[in-house]
Chains A and B, each alone.
Chain A
């Protein structure tokens, strides 16, 4: 595959991610809509959300104007170098910004200048892993600033929350994070949680776990149980979609764990808004999209 083809495939990945929610997320939104009582502000918010999902896909325009931090996770076979992938991805990002699939979203933190094309130090984010598979797998997440701002990291023990260094302590942190996020991250949200790691790897893993399909089960039965419990409990908080009040505060909880050093016990929580823009594909060496990962 030549560089132009790779760029074109990546542009399509960006377009789909920005404009079309994956089916697992749409199913969760529909379930939330059915749960809310007619005539409430919650039902109204869900109605607008559902209309918006359809409209964005139909018009091939960004679901949300905040097209977020661009985070790409790549399993890279031998036939493409990191250098070549990055070059093609950056060109695709530049083009996607020009045609309006992405907002001009990269700002120099010192001067305040917007680079105008989403490129700059640290943008876009690409995580590479090597793979022995023949196909390249790329997963893309566009994570808006509103939901990123309500991410939280706890260092246990936390006296205020009565949270010790155990799963009950983790539970307390997560529920606190959901309560504090109300209204700010566009709910109903999805949580990615990492237990352990250091401050940096914990947050990275909490985002990585948001690449899981919404309706899968955690391979670890202990974490699977905690995920279900936290989802049910968060939905009794009464925060509801957009913080209007209601029965649907979260659409999902995903938890992962990393080893830690004896002195540290971090709980890192990443909040994803209902506009859960993530997609992914498998790309053959010849440049054919073999599979969309969430369809």
Chain B
């Protein structure tokens, strides 16, 4: 399923857990430092309305005066759980790309604003870097350093799996309950 900018609430509400999507448009990277900064009232240097945030600390180097993305896979999302829901509501985010899934606060926010959690394959930094067609800007680079900066990536057909949807469903919660049962069986005295 192709998810092409502009990202809309309708588009996101149509998605269901398990759907494979390909994202085309601009996404903004943001991870630990950015989430804490925005949550504490820092001003966003980019317009996050209807945006997709990518939990990613890429490897980007300057070659011949331009930014070149060398690797750009997702980082573990659960660290942003305290911040993500409130930011989703404040800015009207349409999606979050990351890995490992997020918790109940974010799931509730997805349902409320009409947004999805889009799971990229962790560690697959080359497959995903291939989808970045241009670096359109970088913000907070001095303050936070390269991995923690906001990079504006234009992406084409960036692959991800919907693992938390706008209907309150989470693949992570399902898998966790299956594995908890299996573990209980293995640990029976």
Contacts and interface: CB of A to CB of B under 8 A. Distances in A.
A145 B130 CA distance: 23
Interface in A190-247: 233, 236-240, 242-245
Interface in B52-82: 56-59, 61, 68, 70-73, 75-76, 78
Interface residues of B, number: 50
Interface stretch (A9-17, A70-78, A112-120): A112-120
Question: B70, B171, B178: which has the most chain A beta carbons within 10 Å?
Answer: B70
Interface in B95-135: 99-101, 119, 121-127, 129-130
A38 to B, nearest CB: 14
B114 to A, nearest CB: 23
B20 to A, nearest CB: 7
A45 B18 CA distance: 12
B182 A183 contact: no
Chain A, interface residues (CB within 8 Å), range: 35 or more
Contact of B123 (A102, A184, A186): A186
Contacts, number: 164
Given A99-B61, A105-B147, A245 B71 contact: no
A161 interface: yes
Interface string A267-278: 000000111000
A131 interface: no
Nearest to B101: A183
A114 B123 contact: no
Nearest to B121: A48
Query: What's the dominant secondary structure at chain B's contact region?
Result: mixed
B149 to A, nearest CB: 10
Interface string A26-69: 00000000000000010011001101100110010111111100
Q: List the 7 shortest-distance A-B pairs measured between CB atoms, nearest first.
A: A114-B145, A186-B122, A183-B100, A65-B71, A275-B123, A100-B70, A55-B126
Interface of B: 18, 20, 33, 56-59, 61, 68, 70-73, 75-76, 78, 99-101, 119, 121-127, 129-130, 144-148, 159, 161, 163, 171-172, 174-176, 178-180, 182-183, 186-187, 189
29 contacts: A48-B124, A49-B124, A55-B126, A56-B126, A61-B125, A62-B70, A65-B56, A65-B58, A65-B70, A100-B71, A103-B59, A104-B145, A112-B144, A113-B145, A114-B145, A145-B76, A146-B75, A162-B189, A172-B187, A182-B175, A182-B179, A184-B78, A237-B186, A238-B179, A242-B119, A243-B175, A244-B119, A245-B178, A275-B123
Interface of A: 41, 44-45, 48-49, 51-52, 55-56, 59, 61-67, 98-100, 102-105, 107, 112-114, 116, 144-146, 149, 161-162, 172, 175-176, 179, 182-184, 186, 233, 236-240, 242-245, 273-275
Given A62-B126, A182-B175, A236-B182, 13 more contacts: A48-B124, A51-B124, A52-B126, A52-B127, A65-B56, A66-B57, A104-B147, A114-B147, A145-B76, A146-B75, A161-B187, A179-B179, A242-B99
